[in-house]
């Protein structure tokens, strides 16, 4: 069994609004092994990004425990030691707004090094190194974000994240805003970096086919709750939760082998309910085609069906 670098236990993040409490993340538990990728999938508004933000400390959690490299993480980013931030980095979805438009690429990449007092006297070389790692020319240091394309900006954001030699990076839809060809380039760069430096990723995306190819374990979120967690090959060959089946059968595919793998067409209906009024019982009961009587009244428990394969659905709950 590989060493666990990050363990999240019944993590909760609730927001109070004038319309009621939004349970953006509700009772989410998973763990990430060192050097591996954990994928978090779900439709928009399902709480994937909030989960990542809470782990990074951008939002202080409402409840639950986060353990990183054996040490508990308490509270938000302000109450965490600086040395910890060196080991945990994040890449955001929109590279256009995550890079300071008034700083040159060189300045942007130097900042994490000077904050953590790393590579004293050798920063120029380090910046050249990390630009090389993501496949960007080193003369980019004198350019400004507006002079770069979307994909290049995202590569700069990635090289900023790896500047401090972190052990863990949260990737919040790093390729969703980009073209298919650029997306493939970003993913390849990320995987090469992971292999070389043994970095663990929390990879957030709504692209399931991409997830299949990058993550070792996949968790699926719906309305702030984790519905199924499984090793990614298992996840696609033997999906258990009706929501997972619906998602996989909605993926448009281009080859007949892929078509054969998909579960029988499950017609997707309805939209995600408002997170302020999460349906009673199982959160998915309004769209589920296998909905039973007790799904509407009782919330199912997370059950380990096979080793590493967890599902939150009534038919799999052992009879009490």
Partner 1 sequence: MSEELLKIEGLSINYKVYEDFFKVVHNASFRVGQGEKIGLIGESGCGKTTTMRAIMRALADNALITQGQILFQGKDIIKMSPDEIQKIRRKSISMIFQDPTAALNPVFKIGEQLTDIIRYSSQAAGKHLTKEEMKEQAVEALKNVALPDPERILQNYPIQLSGGMRQRVCIAAALISSGDLLIADEPGTSLDVTIEDQILRLLAGLVEKRRTSIILISHALGAVKGMVDRVYVMYAGSMVEVAKTDDLFSEPLHPYTVDLFKTVPKITGGGVPEPIPGHIPDYLNPPMGCRYYPRCKHAMPICDKEVPTFRHQGKDHEVACFLFEDVN
- Alpha-carbon distance of 124 to 1, in angstroms, equals 39
- Alpha-carbon distance of 231 to 303, in angstroms, equals 15
- Alpha-carbon distance of 119 to 115, in angstroms, equals 11
Cβ of residue 46: shortest distance to partner 1, in angstroms?
Answer: 9
From the list 107-115, 204-212, 277-285, 295-303, the region that binds partner 1 by CB under 8 A is: 204-212
Any contact of residue 181 with partner 1 (CB under 8 A)?
yes
Beta strands in the chain (DSSP E): 4-17, 20-33, 37-41, 63-68, 71-73, 88-91, 168-172, 200-205, 217-222, 225-231, 302-306, 309-312
Residue in 86, 185, 241, 245 binding partner 1, rule: CB under 8 A:
185
Angle subtended by helix axes 180-197 and 150-162, to nearest 10:
10
Any contact of residue 283 with partner 1 (CB under 8 A)?
no
DSSP state of 230: E
From the list 3-11, 53-61, 261-269, 297-305, the region that binds partner 1 by CB under 8 A is: 261-269
Residue 121, helix vs strand vs coil: coil
Residue in 3, 125, 142, 271 binding partner 1, rule: CB under 8 A:
271
From the list 48-56, 65-73, 82-90, 180-188, the region that binds partner 1 by CB under 8 A is: 180-188
Residue in 44, 72, 78, 83 binding partner 1, rule: CB under 8 A:
44
Residue in 17, 238, 269, 297 binding partner 1, rule: CB under 8 A:
269
Distance set, CA 101 to CA 27, 97, 147 (Å): 38, 8, 10
Any contact of residue 14 with partner 1 (CB under 8 A)?
no
Any contact of residue 19 with partner 1 (CB under 8 A)?
no
Distance set, CA 184 to CA 51, 76, 179, 180, 210 (Å): 25, 34, 9, 6, 9
Place of tokens 């070792």: 216
Any contact of residue 28 with partner 1 (CB under 8 A)?
no
Bridge partners of 226, per DSSP, are 221
Write out the binding residues for partner 1, residues 145-164 only, by CB under 8 A: 149
From the list 13-21, 25-33, 59-67, 173-181, the region that binds partner 1 by CB under 8 A is: 173-181
Residue in 72, 101, 121, 252 binding partner 1, rule: CB under 8 A:
252
- Alpha-carbon distance of 282 to 278, in angstroms, equals 9
| Residues near partner 1 (CB under 8 A) | 43-44, 149, 179-185, 187-188, 191, 206-210, 212-214, 232-233, 236, 246-248, 250-255, 257-258, 261-262, 267-269, 271-272
């Amino acid at each position: 069994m590989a060493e666990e670098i990050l363990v999240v236990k019944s993590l909760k993040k609730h927001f109070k609004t004038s319309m009621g409490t939004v349970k953006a993340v509700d009772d989410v538990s998973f763990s990430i092994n060192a050097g591996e990728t954990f994928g978090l999938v779900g439709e928009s508004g399902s709480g994937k990004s909030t989960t990542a933000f809470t782990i990074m400390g951008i939002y202080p959690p409402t409840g639950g425990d986060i353990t990183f490299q054996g040490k508990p993480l308490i509270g938000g980013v302000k109450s965490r030691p600086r040395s910890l931030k060196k080991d945990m980095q994040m890449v955001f979805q929109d590279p256009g707004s995550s890079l300071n438009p008034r700083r040159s690429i060189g300045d942007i990449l130097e900042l994490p090094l000077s904050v953590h007092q790393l590579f004293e006297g050798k920063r120029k070389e380090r910046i050249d190194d990390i630009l090389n790692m993501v496949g960007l020319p080193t003369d980019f240091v004198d350019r400004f974000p507006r002079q770069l394309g979307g994909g290049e900006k995202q590569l700069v954001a990635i090289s900023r994240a790896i500047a401090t030699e972190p052990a863990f990076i949260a990737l919040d839809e790093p390729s969703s805003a980009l073209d298919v060809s650029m997306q493939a380039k970003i993913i390849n760069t990320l995987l090469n970096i992971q292999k070389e430096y043994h970095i663990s990723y929390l990879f957030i995306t709504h692209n399931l086919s991409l997830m299949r190819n990058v993550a070792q374990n996949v968790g699926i979120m719906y309305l702030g709750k984790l519905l199924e967690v499984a090793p990614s090959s298992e996840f696609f060959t033997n999906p258990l939760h009706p929501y997972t089946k619906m998602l996989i059968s909605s993926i448009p595919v281009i080859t007949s082998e892929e078509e054969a793998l998909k579960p029988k067409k499950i017609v997707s209906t309805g939209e995600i309910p408002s997170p302020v009024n999460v349906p009673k019982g199982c959160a998915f009961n309004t769209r589920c085609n296998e909905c039973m009587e007790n799904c509407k009244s009782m919330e199912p428990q997370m059950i380990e069906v096979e080793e590493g394969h967890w599902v939150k659905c009534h038919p799999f709950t052992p009879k009490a």
